[in-house]
Amino acid sequence: MTQHLDLDQALTEAEPTDTGWWRDAVIYQVYPRSFADGNGDGMGDIPGIRERLPYLRDLGVDAVWLSPFYASPQADAGYDVADYRAIDPMFGTLHDADGLIRDAHRLGLRVIVDLVPNHSSDQHEWFKRALREGPGSALRSRYHFLPGKGENGELPPNDWESVFGGPAWTRAEDGEWFLHLFAPEQPDFNWEHAAVRDEFRSILRFWLDMGVDGFRIDVAHGLVKAEGLPDIGDHEQLKLLGNDVLPFFDQDGVHEIYRSWRLILEEYDGERIGVAEAWTPTVDRTANYLRPDELHQAFNFQYLSTGWDAVALREVIDLSLDAMRPVGAPTTWVLSNHDVVRHLTRLGGGVRRARAASLLMLALPGSAYIYQGEELGLPEVTGLPDEVRQDPAFFRAAGQDGFRDGCRVPMPWTAEGTSYGFGAGGSWLPQPAEWELLSVEAQSGDPDSTLELYRSALAVRRAHAGLGAGTAVEWTEAPAGVLAFRRPGGFACTVNTTGEPVTIQAPGRVLLASAPVEVEPEGVIALPADTTVWWAV
């Protein structure tokens, strides 16, 4: 059997933790369009999510982070918000959102919602008025409107490029240009303006009053722009969300915004949190967002960007832990999300390597993020026909990969039926035929399935409180290409990242393994290629 799980043993080893809930939480990202469709229109929605919450409880996660579900023209799949105090009709109503939060809490799940403060939709009331009321109007100063360069203002105000490709400026009919680091339908707010700051503090309160447990803050590093919006000059093309020092990313002025948000979070009981999506040049810069009076967590994109290589992994794990220690924040770990190629495909070793990577991630101290469908071993869907694609990066043809739709294909729940149980209708992106075998139904109860591996891993993690706790791993001796470390409370993890079996001495009894393993009576084990083993030692 692939997965050995001795929960009783793990339970006896459990150690209570007195730290905040988020410090070692496993947080599951729901992408609302693609999770479950309650009304059969082919698009996921809040009623669909509500029905599936027991699945998430049984999976064993602590919290759910929902990508945006607010009123939006969907130019960037909801990351273009027109009104934070309304739910897009495609996803349901505020009443549904209230029900979702209540249901989740009843099941013991926390709820984190997405906030997109860098920009609004071009259909946001403020922006529509700004366009209408013309140059010099009060509403224009809530965004970045500027005259152009050149004799007749026909050139953009500076040389910045949009993350999705093309210039970061679009010219309004009256001749002024407005800034959009992403699509033209996503104009950037001017965070120097007090009304913008007030509005977001009010939005925070609105959702905190609704009962949410935290916010994932989109492009948290982008809000403040360098004074005077200077040209970048000679600079290599930036990648999606930028990981370089740029006049519109990771400016020091951004931190005072998060300090003011922290005060609001702390007005509420129940440990409400802020999670930064901050692409910064180094993990040390990321730590700045997590000083004790700022946010609670940040995504660890350096970890996500690391290949399947023992030396590189060990280095990034140490760097990440070292960077967070001085600010007292937990490190986070993430392999997949709605913006990147799913890790099963990205790491290049199929489901076997993906499973090994997942068990490594879940053995590390701190908080871990799971993107919907990775627990099913879903691959990236390649070769989607152009006519079904909706990613604006694809249309502007110069985004991070231009193919973010491939990780957003709706979840398969059942082996049969229209859209594999996603809903009673079709699905907004077509699901590959092989997904029948990857459905929740097909995998449930099969001890060799990836779904059961995740369920087991999360059960061990939950029972064994030491696993997510702490700020260090104790590395132990291992052959080349193998990572071996111990965690408090009699737990060890071994990862063979090579393509060959490696013979090691078993450090203890197998708790869980990502692939079948046989330990010889004298404790020798040929650790198979691309395999992670959790041990009770």
| Chain residues in the site for ligand BGC (CB under 6 A) | 76, 79, 116, 182, 218-219, 241, 277, 338-339
Closer CB to ligand BGC, residue 79 or residue 189? Answer: 79
The DSSP line for 201-245 is: HHHHHHHHHHT--EEEETTTT-SS--TT-----S-PPPPTT--S-
Which residue among the candidates 58, 227, 267, 474 is catalytic per the annotation?
267
Using Cβ positions, the residue closest to ligand BGC within the complex turns out to be 79
Q: Which is nearer to ligand BGC, 369 or 491 (CB)?
A: 369
Residue 396 beta carbon to ligand BGC: minimum distance, rounded to whole angstroms? 11
Residue 479 identity (one-letter amino acid): P
CA distance 116 to 223: 10
Report, in Å, the least distance between residue 258 CB and ligand BGC: 16
Asked if 470 contacts 488 with a C-beta cutoff of 8 angstroms, the reply is yes
* Residue whose CB is less far from ligand BGC, 34 or 532: 34
Task: Tally the residues of the chain.
Answer: 537
Nearer Cβ to ligand BGC (303/534) = 303
Helix, strand or coil, per DSSP, at residue 388: helix
User: What is the nearest approach in angstroms of ligand BGC to the Cβ of residue 170?
Assistant: 16
Q: How far apart are CA 49 and CA 16, in angstroms?
A: 31
Give how far Cα 182 sits from Cα of 10, 188, 336, 402, Å.
47, 8, 21, 13
| Shortest spacing between CB 390 and ligand BGC, in angstroms | 11
Angle between helices 194-210 and 94-106 (to 10 degrees): 50
- How many angstroms separate the CA atoms of 73 and 88, rounded? 8
| Torsion angles phi and psi, residue 252, rounded to 5 | -60, -30
218 is catalytic: yes
Identity of the residue, 76 or 294, whose beta carbon is nearer to ligand BGC in the bound complex: 76
510 by DSSP, 3-state: which?
strand
Q: What are the start-end ranges of the H helices in 268-349?
A: 283-287, 301-304, 310-324, 343-346
DSSP one-letter code for 330? P
The minimum distance between CB 393 and ligand BGC, in angstroms, equals: 7
Judge contact between 297 and 275, C-beta under 8 A: yes
What's the min distance (Å) between Cβ of 250 and ligand BGC?
14
Q: Which of residues 275 and 283 has its CB atom nearest to ligand BGC in the complex?
A: 275
Half-sphere exposure of 230 (CA within 13 A, CB side): 11
Catalytic residue among 218, 294, 339, 375: 218
Q: Is 267 a catalytic residue?
A: yes
Give 375's contacts (C-beta < 8 A, 6+ positions apart).
59, 450, 451, 454, 455
Min dist CB 216 to ligand BGC, Å, is 9
Nearer to ligand BGC, 295 or 473 (CB): 295
Residue 141: CB partners within 8 Å, gap ≥ 6?
A: 190, 193
Nearer to ligand BGC, 13 or 188 (CB): 188
Q: Which two tokens stand for residue 125?
A: 């009331």
Shortest distance (Å) from residue 238 CB to ligand BGC:
14
Query: What are the catalytic residues?
Result: 218, 267
